[in-house]
Chain A
Amino acid sequence: MSTFMDVFEQRQSLLLETLWEHFQISIIALVIATLISVPLGLLLTRNHTIAEPIIGVTAVLQTIPSLAVLAFLIPFVGIGETPAIIALTAYGLLPILRNTYTGIKEVDPALKEAATGMGMNSFRRLSKVELPLAMPVIMAGIRTSMVLIVGTTTIAALIGAGGLGEIILLGLDRGGDINLILLGAIPAALLAILLDIILRLFERTSAKSGFRSLVSLLVAGVLIAVGPLAFGGKQQDDLVLGAKLGSEPAILINMYEILIEEETDLQVGLRPNFGKTDFVFTALQEGSIDIYPEFTGTALVSLLEQQADSNESQDVYQQAADGMVETYNMAFLEPMQFNNTYAVATTQELADRYSLETIGDLRQIQDQITAGFTLEFNDRQDGYQGMKEIYNLNLDVRTMDPGVRQQAITSGEVDVIDAYATAGYMVDLNLKVLEDPENLFPPYQGAPLMRQETLDRYPELESILNQLGGKITGDQMREMNYQVDFEDRSPEAVAREYLVNEGLIDE
């Protein structure tokens, strides 16, 4: 198992890139939250009656889970940085607003009266007396918001906004690769601490100048965050390909991109690493993305909420494709061969020793082995419960977290685990997937999903993407995933190599 320092060295460029994205998103959200909250807070101190209701509204915003805010925003503003910044801004409002209001309100009334009695107008009183005196409290609010925002920015990765959350999600996707999770989490914490120190220094050195210091802080923030954006002007893409989190979808959309750009003049953009099926599907509906690879099983069960009529791959695909047209007016092109379903895996060594090929073969040694299953797999009918019935097994099962499973089988504590069939770690740990001749596990084949209108507009896409139909075996997919996840090759290089080997494109 690789140590943290190895992972750090391997992923340095990814770390720098996501750290910068993280910093940028956080700062922009913080600046916007400050720009809204401070003036609003000041306004409220001049109109006490509406103060509590408005602060209440920001409190409500705070209580909505950030994931829910993101999901809610996708239909309106799409995916990427915009919804992330909106959600984070909403998150950061309350501490700044409340502290601004309280800070100004709590300024000694005698000082306010002295200022008024000496003939200061409202603005002068604010800028010369109230703001400087309330500054420490306001800055405390900004610092609280900053920590909240930097922490919450990790979820921005779920909607394709990037940031350190990408590394954390990657780690979670790798079955809880603790080093990767730390590689994302530690810089996020350090970033929060660093920014806190900067803000604190700033607060101390400029306690006197009130307005000016706040404004210069905001300007600095905007410059840092937005400056680089001004140079990298974004070009408009004809087609945007989205993908869920992980190496496999990333490799697939790279293949799509290469094929489409090879055979058409369309400009294709990629948005990999969306967290959840819901997010990427909403983004597809809303039009932020145009195509993404979806599993037949997921389309049927999660998106259409139907029961599979049969466990035959072709039947499941057909049922899903029909449903997608009917319900969502979407086209589901031909699936690839590999099946990223649940799988039962054991070590190659054990498989060799007992000539294990199918799940049923486990019966002969079921008294000698221990299984490590996730809670969910252990409980599902298309999981261990089904295995017991169909393969007549009775294993000694220990339930455990997904991340622990791999370590447990490496250390020999368990001999059999559940897994995703095409996961890269199968190769890394040299695991053997046991066949499922009874089709206990429903098929999860990848296929391109797009809105019908996209296909109508670019009908050539169908033939282009269907070149992959029936291609890519489970072993090939696993190998490619392994190369991306463990050998650190880029999804693009792996995708291109595959297409060249298959003769779909020239070198």
Chain B
Amino acid sequence: MITFTDVTKTYADGTMALEGINFDVKEGELFTLIGPSGCGKTTTMKMINRLIEPTEGTILIHNKPINEYNIHELRWNIGYVLQEIALFPHMTIEENISVVPEMKKWKRKDLSKRIDELMDMVGLDPEKHRKRKPSELSGGQQQRVGVIRALAADPDIILMDEPFSALDPISREQLQKDIRDLQQKIQKTIVFVTHDMDEAMALGDRVCLMKEGKIVQLDTPQNLILKPANDFVKDFIGERKSPWQTAVDVIMDQTRSQIYTESDWNSSAILKVGTYALQDEQGEYAGLIHEGERVDAPAIENSSTLKKAMDIFEEQPYPILPVIKENQLIGTISYKDIALYLKSQVKEQNGVMNT
């Protein structure tokens, strides 16, 4: 839906803000851009609504170069939520929400209905708040209005530039939750800039990690954790990550010492003591052997977290879990593996355990 091809931004003084950016944001995706300050994430985002023009490369929306759209119409169809919230202080809440619909010449009646609907959606009572000025609202309420202002004219794309960074932690958490729920409901394509890794991981379908004007890694949150492209990614994520978020395949037993084939079972070559995973001829998981009995037990996806693994352990009596990837049985993980791994992640400082 949004396609960046070899996008480069060089400033007049020769500094290179962006270098060879390539990515493709899918329809309905929540795409987060993250990285340390100065990495070019905001620059990248502002190129989508042409607040910044690239020096080289092309940006397509719906397969059409963005500079072939009328610039104002392009922007009317791209909602924009700013870090500074930036509600117009001289306008009431409803006037703020109406800015883009008015430019798109919406009918007054439709607009009024839309305002009610949007305010209800983010839990602001229209009766009470429509005629208020932004300064009469709390920071959290203001940014809710900032979000619905961006949604007002029903744009295809919404850009969010660190929208929650100016808020207190409680409002921020609430709004993050609201955005996730909202995204479930409205299925917009959202490009979300943040410097907060937890936020990026929690919200993003995919995370684009940038550094010094380049993309370091563009992947799902899980893969960033599981397969960091380099130490920078590891450091950037690692500092923030709880060991519970580690994927199971990071610590699983890959020796296959606990795996037998179906032919082993048929020839009674499996011990009557202990628990083992069974795979069929196609390499797919085919059940557990527990104390010599074949039982049906759930398997776990390789990218799931240790926390998820523990949730499954809690619900069933078997000490190991088969790990699968694309239906193939690739290993097993046990209580003991998890306990040892967690122990290794704990640093002991002055007698206090820290993860």
Measured CB to CB, the residues of A under 8 A from B are 108, 110-111, 113-121, 124, 128-129, 132-133, 207-208
Contacts and interface: CB of A to CB of B under 8 A. Distances in A.
Contacts of A114: 80, 82, 86, 88
17 contacts: A110-B84, A110-B86, A111-B89, A113-B51, A113-B82, A116-B51, A117-B51, A117-B82, A118-B80, A118-B100, A119-B71, A119-B75, A121-B72, A124-B103, A128-B99, A132-B90, A133-B89
B303 interface: no
B86 A111 contact: yes
B75 A118 contact: yes
B264 interface: no
B84 A133 contact: no
Contacts of B71: 119
Given A108-B86, A117-B75, A129-B88, 4 more contacts: A110-B86, A116-B75, A117-B159, A118-B103
A193 B127 CA distance: 42
Interface residues of B, number: 22
A108 B99 CA distance: 18
Nearest to A131: B90
A117 B80 contact: yes
B143 to A, nearest CB: 13
A120 B49 contact: no
Contacts of A208: 90
A117 B99 CA distance: 12
Nearest to A121: B72
Contacts of A121: 72
Nearest to A110: B84
A207 B133 CA distance: 14
Contacts of A119: 71-76, 100, 103
A213 to B, nearest CB: 12
B88 A110 contact: no
Contacts of B46: 117
Given A113-B51, A114-B80, A120 B86 contact: no
Nearest to B71: A119
Interface in B61-81: 71-76, 80
Interface string B158-189: 01000000000000000000000000000000
Nearest to A117: B80
Given A110-B82, A124-B103, A117 B88 contact: no
Contacts of A118: 75-76, 80, 99-100, 103
A223 to B, nearest CB: 28
B86 A113 contact: yes
A66 B88 CA distance: 42
Shortest 8 CB-CB contacts between residues of A and residues of B = A119-B75, A110-B84, A114-B86, A117-B80, A110-B86, A119-B72, A119-B76, A132-B90
A125 to B, nearest CB: 11
A117 B49 contact: yes
Nearest to A116: B51
A138 B44 CA distance: 36
A129 B96 CA distance: 11
Given A114-B80, A118-B99, A119-B73, A133 B90 contact: yes
Interface in B183-242: none
Contacts of B80: 114, 117-118
Contacts of B82: 110, 113-114, 117
A128 B89 CA distance: 11
A132 B89 CA distance: 10
Nearest to B104: A119
Nearest to A132: B90
A117 B100 CA distance: 10
Contacts of B86: 108, 110-111, 113-114
Contact of B103 (A113, A116, A120): A120
Contacts of B90: 132-133, 207-208
B61 to A, nearest CB: 14
A132 B46 CA distance: 26
A133 B80 CA distance: 21
A306 B85 CA distance: 76
Given A119-B100, A121-B72, A111 B51 contact: no
A133 B90 CA distance: 7
Contacts of A207: 90
Contacts of A120: 72, 99, 103
B201 to A, nearest CB: 27
A121 B99 CA distance: 12
Nearest to B83: A110
Interface string B88-108: 111000000001100100000
A82 to B, nearest CB: 40
A126 to B, nearest CB: 13
Contacts of B72: 119-121
A164 to B, nearest CB: 38
Contacts of A128: 88, 99
